[in-house]
């Protein structure tokens, strides 16, 4: 096979995964069927079988596809930002931008999968748990580096701070998915800011948005109905 064919194969695979991820955002991963994916991209089921042998293989590939999007949107961008507090702040920004920026078309894929596999043991649940742990490790590492560099106080409880920041992120995401308002985003930012301001040292670099925040879209804040 020449390069052209391989490239075409890779493009087809991407198109399959894009379509399957779009379906999974609505229907979940369990609801994914070869028939529906084939129909969504105008391909025969046998054509689809040449890319994925089993439903589970397709499901796991869709999960990896979503993880790759998450990595490209949330994790990759922070690697160019200076370590310590700036990178921690950027991680919060890229995560919240991701949640509110419509990376997924029909709702949060990871929320859907987490709920779907709460009590379904197997390869997909294991992969999902590994993904949750991996992000938590990144968050804790970025915080720890902030302590090492003297930006955050040495007595910071790293797993606790990671838990709290991640809780605000999760709440902002679910609030957004449910109500479509920006209020949960504002509250998450306030929570993260107050938590970080409480643990900064005098050596922490000044960041726009943290020590002297601009109002984040206050003019367009939409209230949740409560």
Q: Which residues bind a second copy (CB under 8 A)?
A: 25-26, 28, 106-108, 111-112, 114-116, 118-120, 128-129, 132-133, 136-137, 140, 157, 159-160, 163-164, 166-168, 170-171, 174, 177-179, 184, 187-188, 190-191, 224-226
In this structure, are residues 130 and 124 in contact, taking their beta carbons and an 8 Å threshold? no
Nearer to a second copy, 177 or 201 (CB): 177
Between CA 139 and CA 87 the distance in angstroms is: 10
For residue 208, report the phi and psi dihedrals to the nearest 5 degrees: -60, 135
For residue 200, report the phi and psi dihedrals to the nearest 5 degrees: -75, 150
Between CA 168 and CA 95 the distance in angstroms is: 11
Count CA within 13 A, CB hemisphere, residue 175.
20
Between CA 166 and CA 92 the distance in angstroms is: 9
Nearer to a second copy, 10 or 129 (CB): 129
Q: Quick check: helix, strand or coil at residue 200?
A: strand
| Closest distance to a second copy from the beta carbon of 150 (Å) | 23
Nearer to a second copy, 52 or 189 (CB): 189
Nearer to a second copy, 169 or 204 (CB): 169
| Closest distance to a second copy from the beta carbon of 159 (Å) | 7
| Closest distance to a second copy from the beta carbon of 100 (Å) | 14
Please state, in angstroms and as integers, the Cα–Cα distance from residue 169 to each residue in 25, 42, 49, 135, 204, following that order.
19, 37, 38, 12, 23
| Closest distance to a second copy from the beta carbon of 59 (Å) | 16
Nearer to a second copy, 43 or 185 (CB): 185
Nearer to a second copy, 147 or 199 (CB): 199
| Closest distance to a second copy from the beta carbon of 173 (Å) | 10
| Closest distance to a second copy from the beta carbon of 86 (Å) | 23
Q: Which two tokens stand for residue 15?
A: 């198109």
């Amino acid at each position: 096979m020449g390069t052209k064919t391989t490239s075409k194969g890779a493009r087809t695979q991407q198109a399959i995964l894009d379509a399957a991820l779009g379906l999974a955002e609505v229907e979940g991963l369990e609801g994914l069927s070869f028939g529906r994916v084939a129909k969504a991209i105008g391909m025969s089921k046998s054509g689809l079988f040449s890319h994925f042998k089993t439903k589970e293989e397709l499901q796991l590939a869709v999960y990896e596809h979503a993880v790759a999007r998450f990595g490209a949107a949330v994790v990759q961008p922070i690697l160019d930002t200076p370590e310590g507090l700036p990178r921690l702040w950027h991680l919060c920004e890229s995560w919240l931008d991701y949640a509110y920026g419509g990376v997924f078309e029909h709702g949060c894929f990871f929320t859907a999968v987490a709920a779907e596999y709460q009590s379904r043991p197997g390869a997909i649940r294991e992969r999902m748990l590994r993904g949750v742990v991996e992000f938590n490790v990144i968050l804790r590492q970025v915080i720890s580096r902030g302590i090492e560099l003297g930006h955050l106080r040495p007595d910071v409880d790293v797993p606790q701070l990671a838990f709290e920041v991640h809780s605000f992120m999760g709440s902002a995401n679910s609030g957004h998915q449910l109500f479509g308002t920006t209020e949960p985003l504002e509250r998450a930012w306030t929570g993260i800011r107050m938590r970080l301001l409480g643990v900064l040292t005098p050596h922490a670099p000044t960041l726009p948005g943290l020590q002297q925040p601009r109002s984040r879209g206050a003019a367009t804040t939409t209230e949740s109905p409560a």
